[in-house]
């Protein structure tokens, strides 16, 4: 699968749904259910909206039962295990903020 961030086609399967990690830029991408997404990206938004070296870009497509696809996109701080910055995502409205 091609990375949506750098277009590299070198990626490794993450073992969850149909998600991959880019071997070049470490972006997490692909498709999975919302529950599977939360195994990869904990649905907690940091109060420190900064993109640091610990952050990974992610873009995941999550189809629901009726076939509508929600796109979850942003930067995930893998050290804090919190979302650093949300990007135009449907998750803006309902991801809880944490201290």
Coil, strand, or helix at residue 70?
strand
By CB under 5 A, name the one of 14, 18, 25, 70 that touches Zn ion. 25
> Least distance to Zn ion from the beta carbon of 37, Å?
18
Residue 78: Cβ within 10 Å count: 13
Q: Which is nearer to Zn ion, 42 or 59 (CB)?
A: 59
8 binds Zn ion (CB under 5 A): yes
Strands 18-22 and 55-63, bridge-based pairing: unpaired
Chain residues that interact with Zn ion, rule: CB under 5 A: 3, 5-6, 8, 22, 24-25, 27
């Amino acid at each position: 699968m091609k990375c949506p961030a750098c277009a590299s086609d070198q990626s490794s399967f993450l073992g969850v749904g149909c998600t991959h990690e880019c071997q070049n830029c470490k972006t997490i991408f692909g498709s999975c259910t919302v529950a599977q997404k939360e195994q990869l990206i904990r649905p907690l938004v940091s109060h420190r909206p900064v993109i640091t070296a610990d952050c990974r870009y992610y873009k995941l497509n999550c189809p629901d039962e009726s076939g509508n696809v929600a796109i979850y996109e942003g930067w995930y701080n893998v050290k804090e295990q919190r979302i650093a910055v949300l990007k135009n995502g449907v998750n803006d409205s309902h991801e809880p903020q944490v201290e």
